[in-house]
Structure 1
Amino acid sequence: MTALRGAHVLITGAASGLGRLMALEATRRGARVSLVDREAKGLGEVCEAIRGRQGDAEGFVVDLSDKAAVQAACAEIRQHRGAVDILINNAGIVSGKTLLECSDEAIERTFQVNVLANFWTVRAFLPDMLAAGKGHIVTVASAAGLAGTSRLVDYSASKFAAVGFDESLRMELKRLGSPVRTTVVCPFFIDTGMFEGVKTRFAWLLPILKPDYVVRRILDAIEGNRSRLIMPRFVMTVPVIRVLPPFLFDAVLSFFGVNRSMDEFVGRHE
């Protein structure tokens, strides 16, 4: 079991949405949190909310697309807050555009935030975990990291990379004989505003997930040392469906409305 009580938990993308709720719930379960986001206002508000509950929280304003800034923040956190016990790489961005509509800069930023930032944070905090003989690394990926769809080419590719990152890291840690654990989280769309406007054809099979439910499941998975969390259960059929020829695989996703889910995408207005 990974204990949240008394643990130092670092959460990226913590100023809003899922990250904010995870910060609040983690402190409710007894953790002290270091929170990273580029949005200073939201970060300050969540830290104030946690302190108002007598929790221990400190925010660090960082642009996760900036490698040097991420590395500097990680060094500052280690110096002033100590070693990180549980690292939750939650930050993510989505353009919601077709490949040809996306700018070069948007595509690069998607990979910098959704993928490369994971490398920089893990490289910063993993040595302490290995030295201590304990720790937990959480990668919040997506169901889009298991099956691609239109208008998510850059996002889906980045989440496939995140899933591969977790899997390879897990195998590497096992090869080292390390007790450091990893968890990858692959949820369907979550009602946080990030994917405002998305639709699902069969809500009883593929519901738009409620944020509070997802947060509880993630933290339960961490405490239970689960290596993988996929939500809802129907998404777990994707690896089985992949044995079909591509034209049948595509037909199945189209039947369930997956390939049209982004047609009315609006996204979060900041």
Structure 2
Amino acid sequence: MNFFLETLRFVGLLTYYWLETLVFFIVPKRKKNVSGEIVLITGAGSGIGRLLSLKFARLGATVVLWDISQEGLKETSRLARENGAARVHCYICDCSKRQEVYTVADKVKKEVGDVSILVNNAGIVNGKTFLNIPDSLVEKTMEVNIMAHFWTYKAFLPAMVASNHGHLVSIASAAGLAGISHLSDYCASKFAAAGFAESIFFELRDLGKTGVKTTIVCPYAIKTGMFDGCESKWPTLLPVLEPEYVAEKVITAIRRDQEILLLPRIVYLLVALKSILPVKIGVLLAEYFGVLEAMHTFRGRPKKE
């Protein structure tokens, strides 16, 4: 194709996609049916993972729960059955360990079937300044927050590609779009998670596997034990998010095949401004929204959990 035709095609599609986006903003896409899908959620023993499990259960999906906490899995399983899940399967799995992921994944394939919706939700946060983070915790953050995504994709993506059907969901973070004080290891891992998921999105398009959808979720801090103590300077503008709100938005994004979800909506604007404004103005924005101090009151999840 010559330059003129390629440019004409580009302009035509550019216009069409902008109009399509506008239409779907006014009249949202129809939600797809997930009944009968096999949904695997990592970190399902608590927090957002538990809420997503319950919501998928209500929608008739077969839910596969992974977590390192047996007690957490038992409680999520109990609640999922109360919410109408006909099939709930629980597996103890430390997603930071590659071989354990592969071993447990093989059990899931044999006992349940091929996973069609994979939600990489498990994550950890230390909330320490860079010079105060022990090396072992830096490594653990990377193993749980990003390397686990490699291993779960390796385990479950081949079946999705073979059938040209499935959905990959990466619960990343707004801290994967902008650096935040006291979160150097967490930000690094979430930047990596978002970049990895976006790369897989393009690989699937290159392979022509448009039936395998991807969703990257980047929320601001959520009111779970993971970010206990984290505060917002202006909660009306940039609130610490309610878990139920986040879970509902994530489910809606998955069912509408939404490629990226930023929460709250103001994050879209802040990320866009970060990309075009001078660095000093970016710092001024961070100071105004209290991003530099947000982690000063961080406590995190108690060790017993």
- TM normalised by structure 2 equals 0.86
Q: Would you say the 8 A contact 1:198–1:263 is kept in 2?
A: yes
Tell me the equivalent position of 1:32.
62
1:202 aligns with 2:234: yes
- Which range is displaced more, 181-190 or 40-49? 40-49
State the 1:4 CA deviation.
Answer: 1.4
Q: Distance in 1 between matches of 2:202 and 2:162?
A: 18
Q: Please show how residues 90-239 of structure 1 align to structure 2 within 5 Å.
A: 90-179=121-210, 180-237=212-269, 238-239=271-272
Q: Would you say the 8 A contact 1:197–1:265 is kept in 2?
A: yes
| 1:171-227 Cα distance to aligned partner (Å, 9 max, x none) | 111111102110000001111121011111111111111111111110110000000
SS at match of 2:226: coil
State the 1:54 CA deviation.
Answer: 4.2
Query: Percent of counterpart pairs with the same letter?
Result: 44
SS at match of 1:168: helix
255, 262, 266: which one aligns with 2:295 = 262
State the 1:245 CA deviation.
Answer: 2.3
1:59 aligns with 2:90: yes
4+ aligned runs moved over 3 Å, structure 1: none
SS at match of 2:292: helix
What residue identity is the alignment partner of 2:278? P
- Which range is displaced more, 13-22 or 61-70? 61-70
Q: Distance in 2 between matches of 1:204 and 1:20?
A: 27
| 1:107-131 Cα distance to aligned partner (Å, 9 max, x none) | 0000000000001001111110011
Q: Distance in 2 between matches of 1:108 and 1:241?
A: 29
Q: Distance in 1 between matches of 2:134 and 2:185?
A: 11
Q: Would you say the 8 A contact 1:11–1:90 is kept in 2?
A: yes
| 1:141-196 Cα distance to aligned partner (Å, 9 max, x none) | 00000111110000011000011011111011111110211000000111112101
- Larger-Rg structure: 2
1:16 aligns with 2:54: no
Alignment length (residue pairs): 270
C-alpha change, 1:255 and 1:53, in structure 2 (3 Å) is closer
State the 1:71 CA deviation.
Answer: 1.1
SS at match of 1:139: strand
Q: Would you say the 8 A contact 2:60–2:84 is kept in 1?
A: no
Tell me the equivalent position of 1:4.
34
- Which range is displaced more, 5-14 or 39-48? 39-48
Greater RCO (Cα-Cα under 8 Å, separation 6 or more): 1
Q: Would you say the 8 A contact 1:2–1:136 is kept in 2?
A: no
- Which range is displaced more, 127-136 or 241-250? 241-250
What residue identity is the alignment partner of 1:209? L
Unaligned 5+ segments in structure 2 are 1-30
Unaligned 5+ segments in structure 1 are none
Q: Would you say the 8 A contact 2:57–2:84 is kept in 1?
A: no
